[in-house]
């Protein structure tokens, strides 16, 4: 997405309020102050169960089912329970997801099933507080509404949970925050951010109205034939969306990896380096063992490079995008692009599906992105 000195992605996330999901104190903490470095396995498992239950509850709200299943977080074994305050906070988040589900239905998208797995990556205990980092892996099954949707979409998301040790000797869940840049996972409750302020276009925003008029790409020529291999771009992105290519550096800790990822995919499909020595010269586009141009990793710089060198052109509607095309987002409409994605599938009914890093995501429909960010500004690029 952005390298370190560029603006980070924005998006107002609904955060679980500081009221409690109660977890039993394990034997490791019963004799006095909790250990300042570790938690025993029983406590870690309890932390993981509450994280898994909350995330599964969020996902289940999005499913196209006739009845609403009981919330999993209320059915945990043992002394694990939600306080009334936390239930109200999550109810607010789940309500926003129900609204998103309705948006998706209006855009012709629904999910019939989901599988969520949650793993605890790290638990840090300091005094009466604990921080738990978890990884969520979720796969959703598309409902066949138009008939040619992909089978599934999937993502991996990282969350940080905060716990405090209450007076009664129980661990209380006090917060859960997303840790990834870019568009949140489809089950992440969010508050819509309206577009405000004047927009320095640096390209033309695309309409999000469905359907867009057909704007087919030219015949898929290989690089040897003087063209680009769009199928190779998509194949690369779908191979490395979750398991990163070790041949490239990751920029997740330096502002986000999304534009680095689309650059890799474009190169896999035939884009050639435009060498240079000045990393800030956006007319250049290159990557080597020790450095890279800003246009390789920065969302705005990539757009400036691509439009100034005519390697791509803006499309008037995002539903005109085809395999190998690029979608960028400006979350808050301030004129600075925040995120980059590549189209890896297009249905016969004209719906593009994008794959991207940060949050690592496979074949997410543009309809689901619009439903999550109706106030964002979108830029579609024909490569």
How many Å apart are CA 346 and CA 228, to the nearest integer?
Answer: 17
Q: What is the pLDDT of residue 306?
A: 93
Torsion of CA 312, 254, 124, 189, to 10 degrees: -30
Q: Is 263 helix (H, G, I), strand (E, B) or coil?
A: helix
Question: At 167, is the pLDDT very low, low, confident or very high (cuts 50, 70, 90)?
Answer: low
Quick one: which of 129, 172, 138 has its CA closest to 156? Answer: 138
Task: List C-alpha distances in Å: 185 to 2, 60, 125, 181, 191.
Answer: 19, 14, 28, 10, 13
For the chain, the average pLDDT equals: 82
**What distance in Å separates the CA atoms of residue 44 and residue 125, rounded to the nearest whole number?**
11
- Read off the pLDDT band of 175 (50, 70, 90): confident
Q: What is the pLDDT of residue 269?
A: 95
State the alpha helices, DSSP H only, in 157-298: 230-240, 258-268, 294-297
Tokens of 15: 């955060």
Query: Is pLDDT at 64 greater than 60 in this prediction?
Result: yes
Which helix (H) or strand (E) segment holds residue 118: the answer is strand 111-126
Kindly tell me if the per-residue pLDDT of 31 is higher than 80.
no
Q: What does the alpha-carbon distance between residue 339 and residue 344 come to, in Å, rounded to a whole number?
A: 16
pLDDT at residue 13 greater than cutoff 50: no
Strand partners, 117: 137
Burial 276-314 (b: 16+ CB within 10 A, else e): eeebebbebbbbeeeebbbbbbbbbbbbbbbbeeebbeb
- Residue 380 DSSP class: E
Query: How far is it, in rounded angstroms, from Cα 18 to Cα 150?
Result: 39
Q: Mean pLDDT, to the nearest integer, of 311-328?
A: 96
> At CA 273, angle to CA 268 and CA 279, rounded to 5?
125
Which of 208-212, 214-218, 367-371 has maximum average pLDDT?
Answer: 367-371
Q: Which helix (H) or strand (E) holds 361?
A: strand 360-365
Indicate whether 287 pLDDT > 70.
yes
Q: What would the pLDDT profile of 116-159 be if each residue is shown by its tens digit?
A: 999 999 999 888 888 999 999 999 999 999 899 999 999 999 99
Average pLDDT of the segment spanning 92-113? 86
pLDDT of 262 > 90? The answer is yes
Structure pTM? 0.69
Q: Phi then psi for 30, rounded to 5 degrees?
A: -70, -25
81-26-165 Cα angle (round to 5): 65
Cis peptide bond prior to 211, omega within 30° of 0: yes
- Name the range with the highest mean pLDDT among 55-69, 104-118, 224-238: 104-118
Half-sphere exposure of 35 (CA within 13 A, CB side): 12
Contact predicate 381/363, CB 8 Å: no
Name residue, tokens 């300091």: 126
Cα distances from 298 to residues 90, 170, 280, 305, 339, in angstroms, run 35, 45, 10, 10, 9
Residue 248 has pLDDT above 90, yes or no: yes
Q: What is the pLDDT of residues 340-378, one digit of tens each?
A: 999 999 999 999 999 999 899 999 999 999 999 999 999
């Amino acid at each position: 997405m952005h390298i370190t000195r560029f603006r980070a992605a924005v998006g107002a996330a609904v955060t679980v309020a500081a009221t409690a999901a109660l977890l039993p104190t394990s034997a490791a903490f019963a004799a006095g102050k909790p250990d300042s470095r570790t938690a025993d396995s029983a406590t870690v498992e309890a932390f993981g169960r509450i994280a898994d239950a909350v995330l599964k509850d969020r996902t289940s709200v999005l499913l196209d089912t006739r009845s609403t299943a009981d919330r999993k977080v209320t059915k945990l074994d043992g002394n694990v329970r939600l306080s009334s305050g936390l239930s109200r906070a999550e109810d607010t988040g789940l309500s926003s997801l129900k609204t998103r589900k309705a948006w998706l239905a209006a855009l012709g998208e629904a999910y019939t099933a989901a599988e969520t797995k949650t793993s605890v990556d790290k638990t840090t205990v300091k005094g009466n507080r604990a921080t738990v980092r978890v990884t969520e892996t979720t796969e959703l099954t598309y409902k066949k509404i138009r008939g040619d949707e992909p089978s599934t979409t999937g993502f991996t998301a990282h969350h940080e949970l905060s716990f405090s040790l209450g007076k009664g000797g129980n661990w209380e869940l006090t917060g859960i925050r997303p840790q990834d840049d870019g568009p949140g996972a489809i089950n992440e409750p969010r508050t819509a951010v309206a577009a405000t302020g004047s927009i320095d276009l640096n390209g033309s925003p695309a309409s999000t109205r469905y359907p867009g008029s057909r704007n087919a790409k030219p015949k898929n020529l290989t690089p040897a034939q003087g063209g680009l291999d769009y199928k190779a771009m998509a194949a690369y992105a779908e191979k490395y969306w979750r398991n990163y290519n070790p041949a490239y550096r990751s920029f997740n800790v330096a502002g986000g990896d999304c534009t680095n990822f689309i650059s890799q995919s474009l190169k896999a499909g035939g884009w050639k380096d435009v060498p240079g020595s000045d990393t800030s010269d956006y007319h250049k586009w290159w990557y080597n063992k020790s450095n890279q141009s800003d246009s390789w990793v920065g969302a705005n710089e990539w757009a400036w490079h691509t439009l100034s060198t005519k390697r791509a052109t803006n499309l008037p509607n995002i539903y005109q995008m085809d395999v190998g095309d690029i979608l960028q987002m400006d979350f808050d409409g301030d004129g600075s692009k925040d995120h980059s994605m590549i189209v890896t599938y297009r249905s016969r009914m004209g719906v593009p599906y994008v794959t991207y890093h940060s949050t690592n995501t496979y074949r997410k429909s543009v309809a689901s992105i619009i439903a999550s960010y109706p106030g964002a500004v979108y830029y579609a690029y024909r490569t």
